[in-house]
């Protein structure tokens, strides 16, 4: 118990969430928060032991006693979180809109020691909130860690057929609510077919990767042969995406299958490694420095600041790609430049990061970005971020420095904001932004920064991936982030081809664009000077 995990997961210079501390008082408060992260869920928190014991409830609580709701334990939160509402920025843990759905106090129904009851796996309490009232039971499930059921007890506050009302719309959630629990169970049952569990020890025979990944289900530890090397993969049946039941094996298999498409964006580039050893629900950590990599992993010592060098993994081969996935690195974050020419990026990225905005509106701003770039004689390419927004790339010949590229990106971002004043912003401070906004993030175009590679998986529900798009798909405004996942990306590439390939092959220079940009931004001034 304590707030270590809570603090470790968050960067308080980026997130508006309270740092908080363990409280001495215990006022038996509760809160239910509606959390529009990449997938909507509800956070249920009970004040006890100086902190908020917390559960994530995918479908939210229900006043219908027939509706048992899965509640998954999450880390303890500080009591200051009872009042927290706001936008958690992209890239931070739990990124998305967070708001109070219900709050009030609770009372234990049996005994007095809430912590002991929690330990024992059974809690009965009465809620006195604005929406939730009466008696409730929570029981810990035998299977899996930290999984509970939250159920309304039958009393005068129970209401069969009760429907949860969201404070903010979420189409995916409403659709899901329409589906019956039964169809869910059926699809889960269909999944378990053939399991591949070879010898546990790495002394055993290594299987060719191509045949190992043909197995429907990957479990345990296996040794594979890939690119002439032997790779020891572990805990393949560990669930990384609890909602879908996707495992670490599914992640590694996906990277194996798309390796030929993603590899060109990683080759010769330093990679930033963020590890999720227990999947997307668990804690993560950044690993910059790599000192114990196997021989097939190339590393490079790079100065990140004066006097501070770091051993980066270089994404040279499939072996490295799979090795990282085995370490729980879900995303692939390459630098914008290559080790062979570290100071000259190969692309400019505009990261359109929305808050409280429909995806169609992000499409509009992306199209407007393309148009501005076109006026500057530059071709651009587009992909989903796989998380919330859209990335617009301008492929470059590696002839400009990071400083030049960043300065150019900033000027273009300002034009995008000028063209979309009601929604787009370059304001970095969340507090100063409007509630509904698309942040045109040009700040990523700096040395040592990175944006997820095309085809990279994201640690988001649904195992979404960053998907290259055709501009006409953006024009149609029918796509969503959730359309592209580890389950369908390969088929899409086979059907649509490698939409992002020009980013690697059609490098442009900024010379002409900068002249045009000068003209575009100076002319009105001259004119007004004449008046």
Interface contacts to Mn ion, rule CB under 5 A? 35, 43, 94
- Of 94 and 315, nearer to Mn ion (C-beta) is 94
User: What is the per-residue burial (b if ≥16 Cβ within 10 Å, else e) of 186-199?
Assistant: eeeeeeeeeebebe
- Of 270 and 281, nearer to Mn ion (C-beta) is 281
Q: How far apart are CA 165 and CA 174, in angstroms?
A: 10
DSSP per position, 75-93: EEE-GGGGG--EEEPTTST
DSSP per position, 434-461: -SSEEEEE-TT-STT-B-PPTT-B-SST
317, 263 in Cβ contact below 8 A? yes
Q: At its nearest, how many Å lie between Mn ion and the CB of residue 86?
A: 12
Q: Helices then strands (H, E): number in the chain?
A: 13, 27
Question: Can you say how many angstroms the Cα of residue 15 is from the centroid of all Cα atoms in its chain?
Answer: 15
- Of 94 and 249, nearer to Mn ion (C-beta) is 94
- Of 94 and 328, nearer to Mn ion (C-beta) is 94
Beta strands in 194-346 (DSSP E): 195-196, 207-208, 217-218, 222-226, 229-233, 239-241, 246-247, 270-275, 285-287, 298-305, 308-314, 333-334
Helices 511-530 & 402-419 angle (0-180, nearest 10): 50
Query: Which pair of tokens denotes residue 491?
Result: 């088929």
Q: Which of these, 22, 39, 177, lies nearest to 97 by C-alpha position?
A: 39
Query: Which pair of tokens denotes residue 84?
Result: 């927290």
- Of 35 and 87, nearer to Mn ion (C-beta) is 35
Q: At its nearest, how many Å lie between Mn ion and the CB of residue 243?
A: 13
Q: How far apart are CA 182 and CA 189, in angstroms?
A: 11
- Of 87 and 442, nearer to Mn ion (C-beta) is 87
Q: At its nearest, how many Å lie between Mn ion and the CB of residue 98?
A: 7
- Of 89 and 345, nearer to Mn ion (C-beta) is 89
Q: At its nearest, how many Å lie between Mn ion and the CB of residue 138?
A: 17
Q: At its nearest, how many Å lie between Mn ion and the CB of residue 100?
A: 12
Residue 229's SS3 state is strand
Q: At its nearest, how many Å lie between Mn ion and the CB of residue 131?
A: 18
Q: How far apart are CA 382 and CA 388, in angstroms?
A: 14
Q: At its nearest, how many Å lie between Mn ion and the CB of residue 94?
A: 5
Query: Which pair of tokens denotes residue 306?
Result: 């004066």
Q: How many CA atoms lie within 13 A of 271 on its CB side?
A: 32
Q: At its nearest, how many Å lie between Mn ion and the CB of residue 527?
A: 52
Task: Indicate the residue whose CB is closest to Mn ion.
Answer: 35
142 CB-near residues (< 8 Å, 6+ apart): none
- Of 75 and 229, nearer to Mn ion (C-beta) is 75
φ and ψ at 465, to 5 degrees? -125, 160
CA angle 232-190-221, nearest 5°? Answer: 10
Q: At its nearest, how many Å lie between Mn ion and the CB of residue 445?
A: 31
- Of 94 and 386, nearer to Mn ion (C-beta) is 94
- Of 31 and 325, nearer to Mn ion (C-beta) is 31
Q: At its nearest, how many Å lie between Mn ion and the CB of residue 146?
A: 14
**Other Cβ atoms within 10 Å of 261 Cβ, number:** 20
Q: End-to-end distance of the chain based on CA atoms, in angstroms?
A: 69
Q: At its nearest, how many Å lie between Mn ion and the CB of residue 500?
A: 32
Q: At its nearest, how many Å lie between Mn ion and the CB of residue 53?
A: 14
372, 455 in Cβ contact below 8 A? no
- Of 37 and 233, nearer to Mn ion (C-beta) is 37
């Amino acid at each position: 118990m304590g707030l270590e995990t809570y603090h470790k997961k968050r960067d308080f210079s980026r997130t508006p969430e309270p740092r908080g501390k363990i409280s001495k008082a215990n006022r038996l408060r509760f809160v239910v928060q509606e959390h529009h992260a990449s997938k909507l869920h509800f956070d249920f928190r009970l004040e006890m032991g100086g902190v908020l014991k917390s559960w994530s409830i995918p479908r939210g609580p229900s006043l219908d006693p027939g509706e048992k709701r899965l509640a998954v334990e999450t880390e303890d939160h500080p009591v200051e979180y009872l009042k927290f509402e706001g936008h958690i920025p992209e890239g931070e843990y739990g990124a998305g809109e967070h708001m109070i759905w219900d709050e009030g106090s609770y009372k234990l129904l049996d005994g007095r020691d809430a912590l002991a009851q929690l330990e024992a796996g059974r809690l009965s309490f009465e809620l006195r909130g604005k929406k939730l009232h009466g008696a409730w039971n929570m029981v810990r499930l035998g299977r899996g860690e930290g999984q509970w059921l939250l159920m309304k007890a039958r009393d005068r506050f129970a209401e069969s057929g009760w429907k949860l009302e969201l404070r903010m719309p979420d189409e995916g959630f409403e659709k899901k609510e329409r589906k019956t629990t039964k169809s869910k169970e059926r699809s889960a049952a269909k999944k378990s077919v053939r399991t591949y569990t070879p010898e546990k020890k790495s002394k055993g025979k290594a299987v060719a990767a191509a045949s190992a990944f043909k197995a429907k289900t990957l479990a345990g530890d296996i040794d594979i042969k890939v690119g002439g090397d032997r790779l020891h993969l572990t805990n393949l049946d560990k669930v990384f995406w609890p909602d879908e039941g996707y495992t670490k094996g599914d992640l590694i298999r996906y990277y194996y299958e798309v390796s030929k498409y993603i590899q060109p964006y990683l080759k010769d580039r330093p990679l930033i490694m963020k590890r999720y050893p227990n999947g997307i629900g668990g804690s993560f950590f950044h690993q910059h420095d790599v000192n114990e990599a196997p021989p097939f992993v190339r590393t490079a010592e790079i100065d990140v600041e004066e006097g501070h060098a770091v051993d980066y993994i270089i994404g040279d081969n499939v072996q490295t790609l799979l090795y990282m996935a085995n370490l729980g690195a879900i995303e692939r974050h390459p630098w914008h430049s290559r080790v062979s020419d570290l100071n000259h990026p190969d692309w400019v990225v505009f990261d359109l990061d929305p808050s409280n905005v429909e995806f169609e509106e992000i499409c509009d701003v992306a199209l407007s970005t393309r148009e501005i770039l076109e006026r500057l004689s530059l071709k651009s390419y587009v992909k989903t971020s796989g998380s919330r927004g859209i990335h617009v790339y301008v492929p470059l010949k590696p002839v400009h420095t990071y400083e030049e590229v960043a300065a150019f990106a900033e000027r273009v971002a300002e034009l995008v904001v000028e063209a979309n004043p009601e929604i787009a912003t370059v304001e970095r401070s969340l507090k100063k932004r409007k509630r509904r906004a698309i942040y045109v993030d040009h700040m990523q175009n700096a040395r040592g920064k990175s944006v997820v590679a095309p085809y990279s998986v994201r640690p988001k529900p649904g195992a979404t991936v960053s998907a290259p798009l055709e501009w006409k798909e953006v024009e149609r405004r029918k796509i969503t982030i959730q359309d592209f996942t580890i389950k369908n990306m390969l088929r899409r590439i086979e059907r649509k081809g490698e939409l992002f390939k020009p980013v690697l092959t059609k490098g442009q220079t900024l010379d002409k664009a900068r002249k045009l940009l000068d003209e575009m931004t100076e002319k009105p001034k001259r004119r007004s000077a004449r008046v």
